[in-house]
Structure 1
Amino acid sequence: MLVVGRKPGEYIMIDDRIKVKVVKSEDGHLRLAIDAPREVPIVRGELLEAQQKV
């Protein structure tokens, strides 16, 4: 697992296809913008965990 620190406006690239950008960070809350091809599924962690419990 890679752990990086980013400030609002900064981003990371994954495999030259997926861009994860910090759009807002305040009071312990973080907002991310994810730009990825349509064929790449993006699922929130709590939904994935709920699906795995069934």
Structure 2
Amino acid sequence: MRKFDPWPVFFRREWKRNWPFIVGFAITGTIIIVYTLSLTEEDAKKSPFVQRHKKKK
């Protein structure tokens, strides 16, 4: 006799509960990555945040 495997039941139940969080996290991450990749060196030179946190060598 085959043993019962609880993982498919667990994942189905958790997906129903957590899909809004997972989808929102993916959308937010995509927006952050697209914005970050669009920044240039010129933007970094003008940014007060970057200048404040620049590592001193």
Query: After TM superposition, is the score higher than 0.5?
Result: no
Larger Rg: 2
**Bigger strand fraction:** 1
- Give the TM-score normalised by the residue count of structure 1: 0.28
**Structure number with higher helix proportion:** 2
Give the number of the structure with larger relative contact order, counting CA–CA contacts within 8 Å between residues 6 or more apart: 1
